[in-house]
């Protein structure tokens, strides 16, 4: 089953659809909060520096109903995120899709 996460009302207010991003990072923690869960991770840049990122996921209720649990993303898990960067240019993104480098199916964040 490929979970699909609900559309978030803050998408157009906070995130810029003309600034798509794709990056590979390592999960540092998963934050299960209302109204949306957040994935926090570290992204190593080409120059070797590490940036901390926060990726907005779906609502906790929808994630649970679609089979995504608190144990689905453990710290240290490598992920590939496709999404949209914040309008203010900070290291936050709306995660549209997430996958694992090992080639598992993508998790679609938006309908």
Q: Is the pLDDT of residue 92 over 50?
A: yes
Q: What is the pTM of this model?
A: 0.79
Q: What is the pLDDT of residue 63?
A: 79
Integer Cα distance of 76 and 108 in angstroms: 21
Beta strand 92-99 with 15-31: parallel, antiparallel or unpaired? unpaired
Q: What is the pLDDT of residue 7?
A: 43
Integer Cα distance of 49 and 18 in angstroms: 26
Of 3-7, 43-47, 107-111, where does mean pLDDT reach its minimum? 3-7
* Average predicted confidence (pLDDT) for the chain: 81
């Amino acid at each position: 089953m490929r979970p699909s996460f609900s559309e978030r009302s803050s998408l157009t207010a906070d995130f810029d659809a003309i600034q798509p991003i794709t990056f590979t990072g390592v999960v540092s923690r998963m934050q299960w909060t209302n109204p949306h869960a957040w994935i926090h991770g570290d992204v190593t840049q080409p120059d070797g520096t590490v940036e901390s990122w926060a990726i907005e996921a779906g609502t906790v209720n929808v994630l649970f109903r679609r089979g995504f649990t608190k144990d689905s993303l453990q710290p240290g898990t490598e992920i590939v995120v496709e999404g949209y960067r914040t309008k203010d240019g900070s290291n936050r993104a709306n995660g549209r899709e997430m996958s694992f480098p090992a080639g598992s199916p993508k998790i679609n964040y938006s309908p």
